[in-house]
Chain A
Amino acid sequence: MTALRRVTPQLLTLAALVALVTLFFPDFLRIEVVNGRLVGPIMDILKRGAPVGLLAVGMTLVIATRGIDLSVGTTMAITGAVAAWSITQGYGLGGALALALLAGVLAGLWNGTLVAIIGIQPIVATLILMTSGRGIAQLVTEGRILTFSHDGMAFFGSGDLLGIPAPALLWGLTAVAVALLMRRSALGMLIEAVGVNRAASALAGVNATVLLIAVYVASGLCAALAGIVATADIRGADANNAGLWLELDAILAVVIGGNSLLGGRFSIAASVLGALIIQTVDTGILLAGFPSEYNLVIKAGLVLVILVLQSPNLAHHWYALRRAAQARRERAMDTAKETGQ
């Protein structure tokens, strides 16, 4: 019940967006079954939203510790390149997936060590990999777009299971699994405690250093999954463009999800809804038929409106206004009663 109340603003925003897009594009909610798979704008959003959605899951944990991970976009490029390279080298699907995930873990270990052990501010620490990561990815692909044809790998980009696109499934399952892990174990509370007050948590015996490294590793793993999806989708690794600027969309998703950049309380469900909102805006603008040069401006405008509507300040003013109105009404009633007597 409280969990539902937590994500109410995000659900309302999503509903309002869907209504808005439907106004411009009446077929928005239509889903058809074509060759045994579900097809329609909604399915498209669920599929295309997968990379940012996956990144947002890891980013939520990092931000809950009062950190930030700017390197997830380039980690996607690295892990995508590793996946494509291992497929072309004949390591098979299992080997490719394992190597890509391992690359994600290494990226997370690097960031986590810089932040938790060396003590560099997260935004600077992860900037290092953000800058150098595309170079690493280019080294892996030897500077070209590394294409492959492997149906098993391609499944993660364009396949489907029970009619649902594989990226959407991967995203949904990851979010549910991580959210359950956080709330069924004590990880959620310990991460929040470290995010609010690392010193006090450490004094209470919480192993803050290991936890901090762990959240960056989790973020790296999520980026690896996103990288696999992106590479599988185009059946090739593009070191220059894979995951470009997606770290910013992931941070935005977490913020739209109402999670504080100052750390502490977090909700993975809300972040994932935030990612859905962003993808709905992206897809909706295209479907509504605006010329593509308007996209970014309209997106920025919509995001601004969403954030303003969700801001606690506004909620406070809104509450104060309602209180004032209520007080006025009561006074009016009192006066009416007195004059009546």
Chain B
Amino acid sequence: MLLTIRSLTKTFPGTKALDRVDFDLAAGEVHALLGENGAGKSTLIKCLTGAYERDEGVIALDGATVSPRSTSEAQELGIGTVYQEVNLLPNLTVAQNLTFGQEPTRFGMVDRRAQRRQAEAMLEGYGLDIDVGRDLSAYSVAIRQIIAIARAVALSGKVLILDEPTASLDAREVETLFDVVRGLRDRGLGIVFVSHFLDQVFELTDRVTVLRNGQKVTTERTADLDRVQLIEHMLGRALENEVVGHAKTHVAQDRPELLAFENFGRRGHVEPFDLTVGEGEVLGLAGLLGSGRTESAELMFGLAAAHSGGARDQSGALDLSSPRAAIAAGFGFAPEERKEDGIVADLSVRENIALALQARRGWARPVPRAEQLRLADEYIEKLDIRTSGPEQPIGDLSGGNQQKVVLARWLAMNPRFLILDEPTRGIDVGAHAEILRLIQQVTAQGMSILVISSELDELIAVADRVIVVRDRRHVAELTGSEITTDTIVRAIAAPGRDQAEASV
């Protein structure tokens, strides 16, 4: 084995990003590393490239244990990385980029001719016919990507990590890139390929390793897998008993209708969809990353304006043109990116809980401090938020507790329709179970909830109805006994099936 990783563990406050992960990379193979957001892919890569220091475990390269402490150290050891956002300098020439940091010099000055020759030699065998004297910005993203690979290979030359290299390429460019990658594989490099595009994984890779919640799920030969199995691995299957205790009994119920979205859509975000929400109902939204899950939620909460259709409740049409309008209509939204869009880090737990309530009342009518404290104390106790007190800045709390504060912010508003985007992402098992229990509690009191989740177990545990999203389209609606891992996975995987078939 070229690269061997044994029980790699990395802990961040409140969460185990990597939990005893094993990973093997042979020379001359392309090895896909898969998993949803927060599964631990980036953490694994960062431990390999020296951006993070591992807590435990062994990384061995050619049989010798290595502990790179920076990307340049990793490069010297032979581990090179190319990121989705090419980290080259577009305002320098191709040659300058390729030789950056080790320019050939003559009498202390950069030797331009030698630089050019060196750059041309580095690009040999990549099938590029370009002028290395021109600025990098003159070339397409695909060519820049290949130049970045050439640079990484020349600098390191044993292990090449490609992190979402095809995200901004079109189909032909992807083919060119794949030819280059195959060429490198045949030269004996070990290549780690990270991508969300499953088709590309099947086309290019020899083996697949799937991570979920910081743990390795499996490593298998790509040829032995099919799409359904792969998605099952990524989204999880068996629900750990400690999480919820028992799965929901899935009986399709007739509920009074609370809201209805009709022909609701936005070009480039999500195709128009129809959706009704019952009182006290838990709706699940399943689908792979980038399938249109979050986009649907953002549309419903007014973060992006709908191009078609509208929403109504019993009393008529609803204005959902902005988050403020959506909140006025009784909506709430706990976003996926907790740190960027959820918490206000420097403010206290108390202020974070009171924020939405205060925003609704307007600046001139402050929520009295005593009332804020009462709310904070109430939810700290009810949701078991681990904090030194209501005045602790929320930024100091662990991820799971921050999430609970964001939930408390919305529960304090008592919305009728609450959207939770990945409510349990990156939080530990205990808090995970508490949040699922909380969802069941508040819906029992009549609140309706839409849960977006990458974890099928979670959806099966709490949802009364599951909407499956694929390619920015709502493709299936599952109710009652249909809600099983198998049906959901099949609906996500099956390309070309229409709604009627998939929902059977």
Binding site for B on A (CB under 8 A): 184-187, 189-190, 192-193, 196-197, 199-207, 211, 264-265
Contact = CB atoms under 8 A, between A and B. Distances in A.
B398 to A, nearest CB: 18
B358 A190 contact: yes
Interface of B: 301, 303, 323-324, 327, 333, 335, 340-347, 351, 354-356, 358-367, 409
A217 to B, nearest CB: 14
Contact of A204 (B340, B355, B367): B355
Contact of A200 (B327, B342, B367): B342
A197 B343 contact: yes
Contacts of A185: 363-364, 366
Contact of B359 (A184, A190, A192, A197): A190
A188 to B, nearest CB: 9
8 contacts: A186-B365, A186-B366, A186-B367, A189-B354, A190-B363, A197-B340, A197-B345, A199-B341
Contacts of B356: 204-205
A196 B363 contact: no
B421 to A, nearest CB: 11
A211 B209 CA distance: 49
Contacts of A189: 347, 351, 354-355, 358, 366
B326 to A, nearest CB: 9
A186 B358 contact: yes
Given A186-B358, A189-B347, A205 B341 contact: no
Contacts of A265: 346
B323 A203 contact: yes
Given A186-B364, A190-B363, A200-B344, 11 more contacts: A186-B363, A186-B366, A189-B358, A192-B344, A193-B355, A196-B346, A199-B340, A200-B342, A203-B341, A207-B324, A207-B359
Given A185-B363, A186-B363, A186-B367, A206 B355 contact: yes
Contact of B344 (A186, A187, A197, A207): A197
A265 B335 CA distance: 24
A203 B324 CA distance: 8
B323 A205 contact: yes
Contacts of A187: 363
Contacts of B360: 205
Contacts of B347: 189, 192-193, 196, 264
Contacts of B409: 204
A185 B347 CA distance: 17
B340 A192 contact: no
Max chain A Cβ within 10 angstroms of own Cβ: one of B335, B346, B358, B365: B346
B359 A206 contact: yes
Contacts of B341: 197, 199-200, 203
Max chain B Cβ within 10 angstroms of own Cβ: one of A187, A206, A211: A206
